[in-house]
Amino acid sequence: MQITATGLSKRFAREWIFRGLSHTFAAGSATAILGPNGAGKSTLLNTLAGQLLPTQGTVAYLENDRAVAVEDVPQRLAYAAPYLELIEELTLTELIKFHTRFKPLRPGLTSDELVSLMYLEKSRHKLVRDFSSGMKQRLKLALALYADAPLLLLDEPTTNLDRTGVAWYREHVAATRAGRTVLVSSNVPEEYDFCEQQLQITDFGAQAAR
Ligand SMILES: Nc1ncnc2c1ncn2[C@@H]1O[C@H](COP(=O)(O)OP(=O)(O)OP(=O)(O)O)[C@@H](O)[C@H]1O
């Protein structure tokens, strides 16, 4: 899916978070959205995904040369972020079953295979509430990486992951990124060094707005 931002600007109250951002995210490309804490990376991801309305400017989506309406973006979107919560009252098996009703896995991949890919076989019947923070992050990532969705948004993807977890993320993002438009919001090179493009949010930030 191609995403074209034109003159995109977002303001919360009196504060411009970014302003005048025009950029085309080509179908199949991977872009890192970089900037310090609070610079507006998550806000930009959410605006590009159509989850937040821009204050000014537009976002347009194109899939196989056809325009996609913003209300049809969520079904094409897989999103992992620290602020997106898992349903903690469910067991792993229940959660995958529930989640994949709305966001199916890529063709041919079963829920059992997903559990194996996450190395969580022993935790099938454990409540997600009782997972460690690293296990929860691996679960969030796996549900996004292995979703059948052409747009993949990863916000600070290695949050809570140890060295093994980071290596796992890198292996599985490499295995699943082909053909998808990937946006990674990050401060950590090992999260985004596979991205061929980088966008510095501060280039479109408060200073640029003055
Ligand atoms: N709903 C909101 N209402 C008002 N201000 C908001 C809202 N969401 C974000 N902000 C503000 O927008 C700015 C950018 O926040 P954002 O979370 O996008 O930054 P970030 O670059 O992703 O930060 P981090 O690296 O810490 O995750 C911050 O000043 C934040 O307080």
* Nearest alpha carbon, ligand 1 atom 9: 43
The percentage of the chain sitting over the pLDDT mark of 70, rounded to a whole number, equals 98
- Structural domains in the chain plus CATH codes: 2-209 (3.40.50.300)
Q: Are 45 and 33 in contact (CB under 8 A)?
A: yes
Q: Please tell me the predicted confidence (pLDDT) of residue 141.
A: 98
DSSP letters for 143-191:
HHHTBS-SEEEEESTTTT--HHHHHHHHHHHHHH-TTSEEEEEES-HHH
* C-alpha distances out from residue 104 to 150, 152, 169, Å: 12, 14, 20
**87-103 pLDDT tens trace:** 999 999 999 999 999 99
- What is the C-alpha to C-alpha distance for residues 72 and 160, in angstroms, rounded to an integer? 31
For 123-143, what is each residue's pLDDT tens digit? 999 999 999 999 999 999 999
Please give the pLDDT value at position 204. Answer: 84
Q: From the CA of 41, how far away is ligand 1's center (Å)?
A: 8
By most ligand atoms within 8 Å of CB, the mutation choice from 8, 11, 12 for ligand 1 is 12
Single pTM value for the model = 0.93
Judge whether residue 207 has pLDDT over 70: no
**Helix, strand, coil percent values for the chain (each to nearest 5):** 35, 30, 35
Provide the residue type at 148 as one letter: D
Kindly report, residue by residue over 27-53, the tens digit of the pLDDT. 999 999 999 999 999 999 999 999 999
Q: Is the CB of 39 under 6 A from ligand 1?
A: yes
CA distance 141 to 31: 17
Give the closest residue (by CA) to ligand 1 atom 27: 37
In testing the pocket of ligand 1, which one of 21, 34, 41 has its CB within 8 Å of the most ligand atoms?
41
C-alpha to C-alpha distances, 31 to 92, 137, 166, 195, nearest whole angstrom: 31, 21, 19, 5
Q: What is this model's ipTM? A: 0.94
Between the CA of 185 and the centroid of ligand 1 the distance, in Å, is: 12
